[in-house]
Every structure is written in structure tokens, then in C-alpha cells.
Amino acid sequence: MKKIVISSVLFLGLVSAGLVGCQKGSLLSNPNAASTSSTVPVSLIFNRLVNEIYYGGGVMDAVGINSNSSSGPAQNEGPWSEVHRWNQFYVSLYSYYWGSNTYNWSNTATMYSVLKYVNLMEQQIPAQFGTTANPYSALAYFFKAYQFIWYTQRVGDIPMDQAGVSTISTPTYNLQHDVYQNCLALLDTANTLMAALVASPTGGPTATVTGDIYGLTYLQWQKVINTYKLRVLISLSRRAQDNPDLNIPTQFANIINNPTQYPIMAGITDNLEFKYNSVYNKYPIAPNYTPYDFYESMCDTYLNITTANQDPRTFIAATPAPAQITGGKSVSDFTAYVGADINLGQSALLVNATNGMYSYANYLRYFADPTGATEEPAIIIGYPEMCFNIAEAANLGWISGSLASTWYTNGIMGSMAMYGLKDGTVIPIGDNKGHSLGSVTASVSTFLANSNVVYTGNNPTGLNQILTQKYVAFWQNSGWEAYYNWRRTGVPTMGQGGAGIGTTSNNNMIPVRWEYPEDEQVANTANWQSAVNSQFGGTDAINSAMWLTK
């Protein structure tokens, strides 16, 4: 759709130009178009900028110019998007309504649209603020780091130093190691500048940023910056020992050991999250998807974990499988909740679903109310994940090992709080059309006492528990993080190897990266080819390991 609109506008522009060529005189400039010398409220640009990170950015080339790319737009990273199908939270039974389950990845999108808005914002700041400290200058560093990391973790080396420079049409590539090093420095600067605003009498911790759709205070934004840095550092765990110049464990420990200098999230109220409402931001699958709720089911990668552990989040996510209920099981029986194997082809999945074998999405929670009143907000960077990142670092010995159990439990309880779950919470249970089947009373304490859940200590089993519970906490949130954590650690065991994965050129295995954008290959050929040669032996393949994942 985006391509059609762009092409139509281009066509009309060419027609207009042709007509004008036959006329005498000059046309007046468009009074509605902003020039480089125009004043555009920084808050307006910031409003668009923060919106981009929920929707996964758009397709931009490395110069920061809009691109009508055959690579396509970036995926929506919100709940029930195809991203969460690839995270193996749910499975499509019918491609017409819910898409394919195959990991048929090719050319990636980028998030250079974010860089474009950051650059525009930075151009406007001097005229509107002069030398006065302001949150936009501070947050510009955060968003630069966010978008460069978003892109590099998909492909490897990327243009960074020269990206967004309008006078450079063929930007050179930075090594992935250097991209991360530079982004960690950007995050440090963002924290320092936000700290000054928090301490300022004209700012303060409770001040808010005009144009911020997330509604965070200055202090909360500072917490987001440092919480995000913890995510970035833990994502580098495979390179922590052979890259001493990055000081990965030390940087992580500095944040944990210096809470005054590096405040981090204290609970779910500090989440960077996209909230839904009844007017502009309706929940994405309600009510328009209600006729098609039969055509998706829960994935067994997720449900096998929650049911085995007697996790009450099972009842939040899923309905009981119809055949299990007609067979006599109660709605409180965890074995009545059955996920589909994403390895199977869609025709087989649909037959099995027709026979009542699979659980569906919880209609009462996710389909019934478009206002977002029954659904949890979409987390982008959240407290539960942060807790598990800290627990993992403790398990690995980056910080005091005594912290692992505490933060592991904090992560679980933070996730439970997202759904309002505690002992005694009554959860209504329905079928895939929302018809009531009864209710279940949650027992969080029973779940915490499960032998699979009780933390076993700072050993490989304990690490697996941390990573498994982090995956469960990523249910329908945090974009690609469930996949990235699996790629880094192998936890949980995701379904692959079957025909349903669909990448025959990759032996039906889940890809470990994307190809570079086609626009980059065409417009920046020499630098692109040099990057592919140095990283992957000349082949821009989806199964080639990059520096980050080696």
C-alpha cells in the first residue's frame, strides 16, 4: 500500500510538471511544505519519532532519504504481528487471514526513518532552545543508538558514521563491533544529559516531555536508557570474553552498582509501553479479526512451557483445546491446553484444528475489546525483561551471584503483574468465540513452588530457567527479543526442521540473519559487497553467522 501511494504521488507530480512545462510564468511555492529554514515544533517531530519504534520504523536508505524499496516496510512489532509468530507464540492455520508460518526471510528493512527524524529534530533544537538544556537533545542520543542496534543485529556490519549525512550518497560500513562500541557510548551520553535535566530546578524527575506518546517523566526516560543498555550488554554475552576493549561485564556491573548515577526501572510502571485506546490506537486484532479467530492457534513452544510448570499465564494466553473439553477435562486442567507444532504444514495444522486438537488465543482478553481495556499494553522495553537480564548477568558472574535468585523472582512477579495475576485472581475462560466455559482461580504460589521453576543456583540449569522465564515474559511484547535471545542462547528449544518452517534452502531451519536491503545493494554496491565479502565470504546469506552471534 505504501508503495502504491508513493508511486501515485510521483505520477501526479510528473503529470503536473508536464503541464507546467507548457505554461508561462512561475508557480507559487507550496505554502504547506516546510523548507529547511522553516520552524517545526521539536515536540511534533519527537511525537513522530517515538511512534516509529512501536511500528518498527520504515524503509530508508543509509542517507536517510525515503526509499520505495522492494525490501518492503519493516514489520509491525506489536502484539499478534508476524514477529510474534516467528517468536513462536502463535501459529497461523490459514495463510489468507494470518499469513504463513514460514521463515522465508530475504532482504531486511532498516530503521533509518528514526535517524531521519532525529536529524530533523537536531536541526530544529538550536533555533528553539538555543543552549538551554532540553530532553530532546538527550533523547536524540538514545534513539540513534536504538535504531543502529535495531539494524545491525539483523544483518551485521552497517553504515553508521556516514549514515544520514546528506552529502554522502555511498556511506561506508562500520564493523559490527564498532557499531556496538559507539552505541554504548551514545547511551552513556544520553544518560548523562538526562541526569542533568532530572537534577535541574527547571526540569526535575517528574517533568514530562512534550510530544511523548508514552507519557514518561524525565527520570523514567533516564531509567529506560539504562535499562535498554542492560539489554544491549547482555545481548553481547557471546563476545564478552574475547573483546576486552568493550568492557561488557564491567559496564553492566557499573550500572547495577551505581543506581544513583544509573537509575533503572523499579517496576512495571516504568515500562516503555504503547497503550491502546478507543479512538486512535485500537488494539490491533480487536474487533476486526474476530471472524478469523479460528485460523490461528497457540504454538506449543510457548504452551509446552507454561502448562508443564502449572503457570497461570496459560489461562491468560489461551483457550482450552475443544477436543480436550469434550473429552471430559475441566478448564482448570493444564493438560487441556495444547499448542500446535509450527513444523507442520498449514494444511495439516488446519485439519488438526478442525478436529479440536489446538488451543486458540484467549478471545475474552484479546478479541473482545478494541479499546485495550482487557489487554495489556505493548511493552517495548520493560521491567520483567530487565530483571531477567540482571539475573542472567549474576548467573554468568558479571555481578554478585547472590543477586540471581532475587532478580529471577522479580522478573516472574513483574510479568505476573502485567496481567494482574496473584493468588486468588479469578480468570474467566471462554472458547474461541468468547462463549463462557467457566473460570479458573490463579495460584501463583503453586507455580513458584514447581520444581521446574524453583531456582537451582548459578549453574547451567539455573541459566536455562532464567532464559525460559524471560521467553514466557516476552509473550506478545518486546518485538524481536524472544527470537534474538533464542538465537543467542538456544533457549527455549524452538520448533524447526519441518516443512512448516519453509526455508528449504536452509534445510527448514530458522534463519540467523536477514540479507541487506536491495536498495543498499543497488545504490551502495561497492561498500555493500565489501561488507559481505569480509563477513560472509561473499554470500549475503540468511544462515551466515555475524560477529554478534559467532
Helix (H, G, I), strand (E, B) or coil at 92: strand
Phi, psi at 247, each rounded to 5°: 50, 45
Q: Which among 188, 186, 146 has a CA at the least distance from the CA of 53? A: 146
Q: Give the pLDDT score at 505.
A: 75
Residues (pLDDT < 50) of the chain are 1-27, 58-73
Q: Give the burial class of 76: count Cβ atoms within 10 A of its Cβ; 0-12 exposed, 13-18 middle, 19 or more buried.
A: middle
Q: Give the pLDDT score at 479.
A: 95
152 near 158, Cβ under 8 Å?
A: yes
Find residue 381's DSSP bridge partners: 272
Q: Which among 255, 252, 151, 109 has a CA at the least distance from the CA of 548? A: 151
Q: Give the pLDDT score at 293.
A: 84
The Cα–Cα gap between 105 and 116 comes to 26
| Cβ-proximal residues to 416 (8 Å cutoff; 6+ apart), any chain | 312, 313, 422, 444
The Cα–Cα gap between 472 and 492 comes to 9
Taken in order of first residue, the domains within the chain and their CATH numbers are 41-74+109-263+515-549 (1.25.40.390), 297-489 (no CATH)
DSSP 38: S
Helix (H, G, I), strand (E, B) or coil at 417: helix
The Cα–Cα gap between 375 and 437 comes to 20
Side-chain-side CA neighbours of 70 within 13 Å: the count stands at: 6
Instruction: Dump pLDDT digits (tens) for 491-540.
Output: 999 999 999 998 777 889 999 999 999 999 999 999 999 999 999 999 99
395 near 401, Cβ under 8 Å?
A: yes
118 near 144, Cβ under 8 Å?
A: yes
Instruction: Dump pLDDT digits (tens) for 1-58.
Output: 233 333 333 333 333 333 333 444 444 555 555 555 678 999 999 999 998 888 765 4
440 near 313, Cβ under 8 Å?
A: no
Side-chain-side CA neighbours of 26 within 13 Å: the count stands at: 3
DSSP 325: H
Q: Length of the chain, please?
A: 550
Q: What are the C-alpha distances in Å from 473 to residues 56, 174, 379, 382, 404?
A: 20, 33, 10, 10, 17
The Cα–Cα gap between 173 and 166 comes to 16
Q: What is the mean pLDDT of the chain?
A: 90
Does the pTM surpass 0.85? The reply is yes
142 near 124, Cβ under 8 Å?
A: no
Whose cell is 536491503? That residue is 517
Q: Give the pLDDT score at 445.
A: 98
Q: Give the pLDDT score at 75.
A: 61
Q: Give the pLDDT score at 24.
A: 40
The Cα–Cα gap between 59 and 69 comes to 7
Q: Which among 448, 445, 491 has a CA at the least distance from the CA of 466? A: 491
Q: Give the pLDDT score at 2.
A: 33
Report long-range pairs for 407-411 (Cβ below 8 Å, ≥24 apart): 408/455, 408/462, 408/465, 408/466, 408/469, 409/448, 409/455, 411/384, 411/385, 411/386, 411/387, 411/466, 411/469, 411/470, 411/473
Instruction: Dump pLDDT digits (tens) for 419-436.
Output: 999 999 999 999 999 999
Whose cell is 503541464? That residue is 19
- The amino acid at 401: G
The Cα–Cα gap between 161 and 173 comes to 8
b/e per residue, 451-465, with b = 16+ CB within 10 A? ebbebeebeeebbbb
Whether the bond between 377 and the residue before it is cis, its omega within 30 degrees of 0, is no
Find residue 4's DSSP bridge partners: none
Find residue 440's DSSP bridge partners: 427
Q: Give the burial class of 253: count Cβ atoms within 10 A of its Cβ; 0-12 exposed, 13-18 middle, 19 or more buried.
A: middle
What value does the CA radius of gyration of the chain take, rounded to a whole number of Å? 24
C-alpha cell at 388: 531477567
